[in-house]
Amino acid sequence: MCPDKQLLSAYMDKEIEEPVRRRVTEHLGQCDTCAGVLKSYEQLHSRLLDDTMAFPPFFETRLFEILKEKSVRNPSVRNPSVRYPSVGYVPVWRRKIFVPVPVLAFAMILVMVLAMGITVVSLKNTKGNSIAVNRQEVIPVKLTISDLEELTRLLQSDTYVLEVDMQLPKDHNFSIIGEPVLIRDNGGGVYDLRP
């Protein structure tokens, strides 16, 4: 059975794959009709290619002249015949920058160190703020003057702001001079009443 003419056309174009191609080849060896059809396609192909066509002279020159004219009228279209444009023509934001890899690596490390430093400092500040917030809590504590050790311990505590009421001995006469001052613990158990 003869193959379809479409198949012979595709066969000539090498668009038929094995094993169909092999079977068509075998058939063509035995069938003069199909061989004639294929030959007519091949002749047509040769005739088409024989019809030599002259490429227009100066096509490229004219094309690049047109592109040059367009580039003058519209700066977005540059003249492609200029292969190596001057550096000054390139806008700053489009220039290439070449950085050696070691310099780039050092810069990246520096940036990372700075970022870490900033992070640490900011965390510390955050901690300080949180303590300050905690310090807003006020726990009233009533102690007698004999409980100085307990007072010292509380004052050394960094957690809370303490409001301390001190009851001075009633058998002594104390006169208050000036504004009240805070008692600050100086770490050695001695209380300095100076502001």
Per-residue binder mask for another protein (CB under 8 A), 95-114, x = binder: -x------------------
The answer to whether 53 contacts another protein (rule: CB under 8 A) is yes
Q: Select 69 or 192, whichever has its Cβ closest to another protein.
A: 69
Q: Select 81 or 134, whichever has its Cβ closest to another protein.
A: 81
Q: What are phi and psi of 189, to 5 degrees?
A: 80, 5
Can you point out the beta strands (E) in the chain?
138-144, 161-167, 184-185, 191-192
Q: What are phi and psi of 24, to 5 degrees?
A: -65, -40
Q: Select 96 or 170, whichever has its Cβ closest to another protein.
A: 96
Q: Select 43 or 186, whichever has its Cβ closest to another protein.
A: 43
Q: Please select the residue that binds another protein; options are 67, 143, 162, 166, rule is CB under 8 A.
A: 67
Beta-ladder partners of 166: 143
Q: Please select the residue that binds another protein; options are 30, 32, 48, 102, rule is CB under 8 A.
A: 48
Residues 160-190 as b/e (b if ≥16 CB within 10 A, e otherwise) read: eebeeeeeeeeeeeeeeeeeeeeeebeeeee
